[in-house]
Amino acid sequence: MANVLIGICGGIASYKVCDLIRDLKREGYNVKTILTPFAEKFLSPMTFETLSGNKSYTDKDWPKEPLAHINLARWADAFLIAPTTANTISKIACGIADNLLTTTVLAYGKALIVAPAMNTVMYKAPQVQENLNKLKEIGHIVVEPEFGVLACEEVGEGKLASKERLIDWIYYYLEEKGLKGKKVLITCGATKEYIDPVRFISNESSGEMGFSLAKICRWKGAQVKVIAGFTTAQEPPEIEIKRVKTAEEMRKKVLENFDWSDIVIMNAAVSDFKPVKTESKKIKKKERITLELVKNVDILEELGKIKERKILVGFALESERLIEHAREKLIRKNLDLIVANPAEVMGTKHHKGFLITKEEIKEFSFSSKLESARFIVEYLVGKFLQGGG
């Protein structure tokens, strides 16, 4: 796994880096840290050495290791500075190298991941914003701080980005950009077809597969939009998500965004049927009621008729004759790729099935839907975007 170097500046948010390091280690990353002199006033190097399992570097190490800044820069696959103070932002923007951290920044010579954290008035100061814009112009990634109650008890922008966002940006930074310049539209989750104001027809889709696909596509450089029905999985950070409830709402939102997209991945578990009539008031309890259903419009089939040169990916969930039914859908709906899954994968962590095109069938099985999503997206890139087909 990759080497991640974390520069820690002197701010109260530095304590949050402890959990970040712990999670990165769980993910398999090798982590080293550099503390500025003021960061040592908040937490000791021993804290970070214990969590990372590696030496934590400070300015005191320079006399013993005069090439520490060069060696650390060469070692790092990704370089995150969190929290980044106004002082360090200004130094990086101006090329000042007056401590081990800022000197290592110059020796690194590649894009940094910079996560500011400070009082909201300081963050919005014209000088700080000008320096952050300089960092962006140079090519550094600035992970914008979050809105909330700050340590000074003021409310506003300035909170250090969550560890989930920071880890997501590290994944983004390290990923090959096979989808750079592409726009990917993804649907996920379950639709709800209402019987009355409180009752509805739905299914057990969690949305985890669609959210995983969105993460992988973003990490690979795509601009991603997600249209989501009801979901229980955690939303991916840094991705635009539009919420809908019914199949018809999803259809309208997909068609609104269809022209924008280059690739459309229809992962949502859209209800096949809806009630002929939705009651305006809650139905009173009875011994028996008859519910008449009508077929919903097949959004994927509709897109297949107008797709032109777009790449269109569908999913098929079947309880029997999986490959046979999936191939029939592939042809009938004019898809480029269909992911065929047995019914038991819905709502579970484990994911298995088949990738089916007009030319081939590839079986897969992974312990997580994120792994499956990576397999699907990398297959799509290799098959349709790099001349593999």
Buried b (16+ CB within 10 A) or exposed e, 7-16: bbbbbebbeb
Active site (catalytic) residues: 152
Q: Measure Cα distances from 32 to 45, 81, 207, 314 in Å.
A: 11, 12, 35, 42
In the numeric block, the tokens 């029997």 are attached to 320
Q: Is the peptide bond before 237 cis (omega within 30 degrees of 0)?
A: no
Sign, CA torsion 40/43/47/51: negative
DSSP one-letter string for 347-372: T-S-EEEEEE-SS-EEEEEESSHHHH
Q: Is 255 helix (H, G, I), strand (E, B) or coil?
A: helix
Length of the chain: 389
**Kind and range of the H or E element at 235?**
none
User: Of 248, 293, 247, which Cα lies nearest the Cα of 271?
Assistant: 247
